[in-house]
Amino acid sequence: MICPNCKRKDIGKIGVNQYYCWNCFIELSIQQGKLALHQVEADGTLTSLDDLFEESDLAFKAEAP
């Protein structure tokens, strides 16, 4: 998986269909075949970043192993 924000592969799995980019510090989740991106705030809440990306950037494409 490649981060749509920083385009790097520094992605770790943190839950079922939930991932974290260790390079740009955003949380990614897969919902209905689309990526949902969130910034983790200081108080632990999540702020959506989806409005900053095009639909094509948020389409989830699984990589072959």
> What was the pLDDT predicted at 21?
94
Residue 6 falls within a domain, yes or no?
A: no
What is the rounded distance in angstroms from the CA atom of residue 32 to the CA atom of residue 60? 9
Domain containing 53: what range? 11-58
Residue 45 falls within a domain, yes or no?
A: yes
> What was the pLDDT predicted at 11?
93
Residue 30 falls within a domain, yes or no?
A: yes
Residue 21 falls within a domain, yes or no?
A: yes
H-only helix segments in 1-65:
55-58
What is the rounded distance in angstroms from the CA atom of residue 20 to the CA atom of residue 4? 12
State pTM to two decimals: 0.76
> What was the pLDDT predicted at 64?
45
Residue 3 falls within a domain, yes or no?
A: no
> What was the pLDDT predicted at 9?
93
Residue 43 falls within a domain, yes or no?
A: yes
Instruction: Tell me which residues of the chain have a pLDDT lower than 50.
Output: 64-65
Q: What is the pLDDT of residues 30-48, one digit of tens each?
A: 988 888 999 988 898 999 9
Give me the number of domains the chain comprises: 1
